[in-house]
Amino acid sequence: EQSADRKIYLNGQLVPKSQAVVSVFDHGFLYGDGIFEGIRIYDGVIFRLDEHLVRLYESAKSILLTIPLTFDEMADAIVETVRANHLQSGYIRVVVSRGEGDLGLDPRSCPRANVVVIADTVRLFPQELYDHGLRIVTVPTQRNSPAALNPQIKSLNYLNSVLVKMEAANSGVLEALTVNAQGYVCEGSGDNVFIVKRRKVYTPPIYLGALDGITRRAIMDVCEKLELPLSETPFTRHDVYVADECFLTGTAAEVIPVIEVDGREIGNGKPGPITQQLLKEFRKIVREQGRRV
């Protein structure tokens, strides 16, 4: 189906795209007050749907947002939206905004959250990236501090990531790494980061300032299955420069090899063997773990 014919779930109804509209007084629009999820569906299996929904409801709890659907109703709304759009593979975006209120910041003027589910085809990254790897940079904009806006909340306020993405583009690359105020590596604009050194896999602990990515967790599970030692350890840019391998993980990106950071070649400048093995194993499990539509 063409995207113009897409049916969008909006507050309990499936409506044509042209009718899927919310108020300009929605605090999601005015203040980025709300939360979201991005989920993949592979051959009729919604990958780790429950984990995504747990994260959504935890984000909601953290910002004192009442989602007007139970966990099971939300899961059903997502399945229904995927079915209505006849999608076997694609990308699902769930958005819960604070809802319509007055112009003040106080969310108490917003009586009901708006719930939106969009299911569409996925815009795949070019195969080139997986075959040859990505050149990235680190950027001056620091990751949001967990003490200010915790990156574990998948909030609609994505300006921090937008700035990072623009700084990447200004440097002529597609993605960038952030560090926190102490100089420890956090994550990319929309993905988690891993490095490999002497056959050990490392990823930063999320409390340094990163989203608890579902793909990150899946990769950690794959490491366990393959008996690759993995540790959540803080590391610096220097550690990335001298790593044997580096890769990024995310729902859209899956596993992307990184071959250069800030002009330093990583390893031999080619996608590393452990990165490639993890991508291969990851692509095997995505059709096994999740809810069938």
Which residues in the 210-249 window bind ligand PMP by CB under 6 A? Answer: 211, 213-216, 249
The answer to whether residue 141 forms part of the interface with ligand PMP (CB under 6 A) is no
Please identify which residue in 192, 194, 195, 274 interacts with ligand PMP, judged by CB under 6 A: 192
Who contacts 266 (Cβ-Cβ below 8 Å, separation ≥6)? Answer: 240, 241, 243, 244, 245, 246, 258, 259, 260, 272
CB-nearer residue toward ligand PMP: 26 or 187: 187
Spell out the alpha helix ranges (H) of the chain.
Answer: 27-31, 49-62, 71-84, 127-132, 159-170, 214-225, 237-241, 273-285
For ligand PMP, which is the closer residue by CB, 250 or 267?
250
Residues designated catalytic: 154
Q: Is 90 in the site for ligand PMP (CB under 6 A)?
A: no
Determine, following the binding rule CB under 6 A, whether residue 41 of this chain makes contact with ligand PMP.
Answer: no
Q: Please tell me whether residue 250 binds ligand PMP under the rule CB under 6 A.
A: yes
Of residues 32 and 38, the one with the C-beta less far from ligand PMP: 38
Among residues 187, 204, 259, 272, which is the contact residue for ligand PMP, using CB under 6 A? 187
Is 161 an interacting residue with respect to ligand PMP (CB under 6 A)?
Answer: yes
Stretch of 77-85, 109-117, 188-196, 276-284 lying at the interface with ligand PMP (CB under 6 A): 188-196
178 binds ligand PMP (CB under 6 A): no
CA gap 207, 209 in Å, rounded: 5
Please report how close the Cβ of residue 48 comes to ligand PMP at its closest, in angstroms: 9
Angle at 247 between CA 246 and CA 251, to 5 degrees: 165
| Secondary structure class of 208 (helix, strand, coil) | helix
Query: Residue written as tokens 């967990």?
Result: 146
Question: Shortest CA distance to 246 belongs to which of 136, 111, 104, 98?
Answer: 136
